[in-house]
Amino acid sequence: MTASIENTTTPIQWPVEGVSRVPYAAYTNEALYALEQEKLFRGAIWNFIGLDIEVPNVGDFKTSSVGDTPVVLVRSAPEKFSAFVNRCAHRGATLCIDKEGNRERFTCVYHNWSYDLEGNLKTVAFQKGVRGIGGLPADFKTCDHNLRQLRVESFHGLVFATFSPETPPLQTFLGPKMCAHMARIFSRKIKILGTYSQYMHNNWKLYMENVKDSYHASLLHLFFATFKLNRLSMQGGLVLEGDGGHHISFSKMATDVGGGTEYESGGLRAQSDDFALRDGRILKSWPEFEDGVTHAIQGIFPNLIVQQIQNSLAVRLLVPRGVGECELFWILFGYEDDTAEQTETRVSLSNLIGPAGLVSMEDGIIGNFIQRAIGSDTDGKTVLEMGGRAVESQESRVSEASVRGFWQEYRKHLQL
Ligand code: FES
Ligand SMILES: [Fe+2]
């Protein structure tokens, strides 16, 4: 009998076609999910964990996530951010239960061990026991039991954290084109208009594919095409960075030439000229940037989205919640120097986005359409050949080049 050697380090086999195919198992395999947490989220990448203005004062904190690892972002000094795993070093209890607030110390409810703003263990309740009996051994050193601390860097008010000492500086990780776009969006002081999260019943990567899929926007979203907010016949393109993990897809509403496209010849489900708005105020907007770009979606690998849809601005952080579930955290914002009317317009335009948004609601369900259709089929694979098979920046958005870029970067980190 010949012994077979199984490759136990790779939970799935990638199809020979490369990134123009994605095996269904990528969305359903439990072992792959665990490997992602280790190699990707706790590996050599920067993870967005919050905005600096969410923690304006020393001691302010918010809870966040790096992959599915709970973390806390704290302003530990006037110009310093710290981040640590939200898990007590004693017996692993959730340390910080509140979503946000201000603390001088973080004290665990279970046995009252307490930590400073950087996550260093400061006090242990009954460390010396009672009247000399019980307590910790004499050689116990509190400094050996700090919380697991992450490196933190920020860029234009976006705060990122990494577990890995290998991760290059944040701006190197982002790359020049992504930095330039972020500098454009975060050029002035911002103010938060609202936050919420939405829960989705699909693997997290199905949502990231959707974000990077400029092909679907005016086909799935009836509202976009019908009211001519974003159509493939507008000037625009895909900008990829580095190995393709980060991307920007953009369009300019004023450049819609119309004519000679499938929009006019009919037959597109998403185009319905019978629809009109009784109250057009929802579509009121003004030119936000001089470059004429009215729609720009930036995907920072692996799970951050920076959004400009007309004057609706937002960042979204996608958090995996197990292999078939994920949660998307939205932060809607405007600028501090906006007029009251501009703020009202931004709030009104936010009807387009979010779990019940006139546009985004379809993005919240389409991942589940895939997840439930795949079921437990581990043999099948998806097809990603729109715009060719390459990973590159392109002028056409009738393309899946940025989706292929996501997978190219993903495979590199997971060594698949
Ligand atoms: S688990 Fe936190 S103090 Fe015991
Ligand atoms: Fe969409």
Q: Quickly state the pLDDT bin for 270 (edges 50, 70, 90).
A: low
Ligand 1 close to Cβ of residue 284 (< 6 A): no
What is the whole-number distance in angstroms between the Cα of residue 92 and the centre of ligand 2?
39
> From the CA of 297, which ligand is nearest?
2
The model's confidence at residue 8, banded by pLDDT at 50, 70 and 90, is: low
Single-letter amino acid, residue 344: E
* Residues 158 and 51: beta-carbon distance below 8 Å: yes
- For residue 34, report the distance from its CA to the centre of ligand 1, in Å: 26
Percent of the chain clearing pLDDT 70 (strictly above): 94
CB 188 near ligand 1, within 6 Å = no
- Measured from the Cα of 89, ligand 1's closest atom is 2
pLDDT at site 1: 39
| Amino acid in the structure at residue 323 | V
Q: Cα of 365 to ligand 2 centre, how many Å? A: 10
One-letter amino acid identity for 295? H
**What local confidence, expressed as pLDDT, does residue 225 receive?**
77
Confidence of residue 4 (pLDDT cuts 50, 70, 90): very low
Atom of ligand 1 nearest to the CA of 95: 2
Residue 260 has pLDDT above 80, yes or no: no
pLDDT at 232: 76
Ligand 1: nearest atom to the Cα of 93: 1
Q: How far is the CA of 227 from the centre of ligand 2 (A)?
A: 15
The minimum-distance atom of ligand 1 relative to the CA of 111 is 3
Question: Which pLDDT tens digit goes with each residue over 207-233?
Answer: 999 999 999 987 898 887 788 777 777
- pLDDT of 7 > 50? The answer is no
Residues with CB under 5 A from ligand 2 (ion): 363
Question: Across the chain, what does the average pLDDT equal?
Answer: 93
How far out from the chain centre does Cα 141 lie?
A: 38
What is the Cα–Cα distance from 338 to 247, expressed in whole angstroms? 28
Our mutation pick for probing the ligand 1 site, out of 94, 97, 106, 113, counting the most ligand atoms within 8 A of Cβ, is 113
Long-range (24+ apart) CB contacts under 8 A made by 203-206 are 203/26, 203/27, 203/28, 203/320, 203/323, 203/324, 203/326, 203/367, 203/371, 204/303, 204/318, 204/319, 204/320, 204/326, 205/26, 205/27, 205/406, 205/410, 206/27, 206/366, 206/367, 206/370, 206/371
Classified as helix, coil or strand, 61 is strand
Torsion from C-alpha of 332, 54, 187, 252, nearest 10 degrees: -20
Q: Nearest residue CA, atom 3 of ligand 1?
A: 111
Q: What is the rounded distance in angstroms from the CA atom of residue 342 to the CA atom of residue 279?
A: 18
Residue nearest to atom 4 of ligand 1 (CA): 111
Paired tokens of 306: 């920076």
Three-state SS for 185? Answer: helix
Q: Which residues pair with 318 in a beta bridge?
A: 328
Nearest ligand, CA of residue 112? 1
> Measured in whole angstroms, how far is the alpha carbon of residue 194 from the centre of its chain?
17
> Closest ligand 1 atom to the C-alpha of 108?
2
Nearest one of 255, 173, 238, 210 to 367, comparing CA atoms: 210
Per-residue model confidence (pLDDT) at position 378: 84
pLDDT tens, position by position, 78-97: 999 999 999 999 999 999 99
With 0-12 / 13-18 / 19 or more C-beta atoms within 10 angstroms meaning exposed / middle / buried, residue 276 is exposed
CATH number, domain 47-155, options 2.60.120.260, 3.60.15.10, 1.10.1740.10, 2.102.10.10: 2.102.10.10
Q: Is the pLDDT of residue 35 over 90?
A: yes
Q: How far apart are the first and last CA of the chain?
A: 30
Give the rounded distance of the alpha carbon of 313 from its chain centre: 15
Q: How far is the CA of 125 from the centre of ligand 1 (A)?
A: 10
Point out the ligand nearest to the CA of residue 87. 1
Q: What is the DSSP string of 85-115?
A: ESS-TTT---S--SSEEE-SSEE-TTT--EE
Q: Return the ligand number nearest the Cα of 307.
A: 2
Residue 97 Cα distances to 61, 94, 100, angstroms: 11, 7, 9
More confident: 268 or 170: 170
pLDDT in tens, 362-410: 999 999 999 999 998 989 999 999 999 999 999 999 999 999 999 999 9
For residue 18, pLDDT over 60 is answered with: yes
Query: What pLDDT is recorded for position 9?
Result: 67
CATH architecture observed for domain 175-414: Alpha-Beta Complex (3.90)
Picking from 268-277, 288-297, 375-384, which range would have the lowest pLDDT averaged per residue?
268-277
Position 3 pLDDT exceeds 70: no
Confidence of residue 144 (pLDDT cuts 50, 70, 90): very high
Ligand 1 atom nearest to 92, measured from its CA: 1
- What are the residue ranges spanned by the domains of the chain? 47-155, 175-414
Question: What is the per-residue pLDDT for 258?
Answer: 61
AA identity, residue 313: L
- DSSP one-letter code for 253: G
Q: Which helix (H) or strand (E) holds 49?
A: strand 47-51
User: Which one, of 8, 387, 365, lies nearest residue 210 by Cα?
Assistant: 365
* pLDDT surpasses 70 at 2: no
Ligand 1 near 106 CB (within 6 A): no
Whether the CB of 90 sits within 6 Å of ligand 1: yes
Q: Are 400 and 240 in contact (CB under 8 A)?
A: no
Q: Is 113 in the pocket of ligand 1 (CB under 6 A)?
A: yes
Q: What distance in Å separates the CA atoms of residue 212 and residue 289, rounded to the nearest whole number?
A: 22
From residue 109, give the alpha-carbon distance in Å to each of 103, 119, 164: 14, 16, 29
Would you state the pLDDT for residue 337? 98
| 221 vs 364: CA distance, rounded Å | 12
Assess whether pLDDT exceeds 50 at residue 266: yes
Render the burial of 333-370: b for 16+ CB within 10 Å, e for the rest.
Answer: bbbeebeeebeebbebbbbbbbbebbbbbbbbebbbeb
pLDDT, residue 150, reads 98
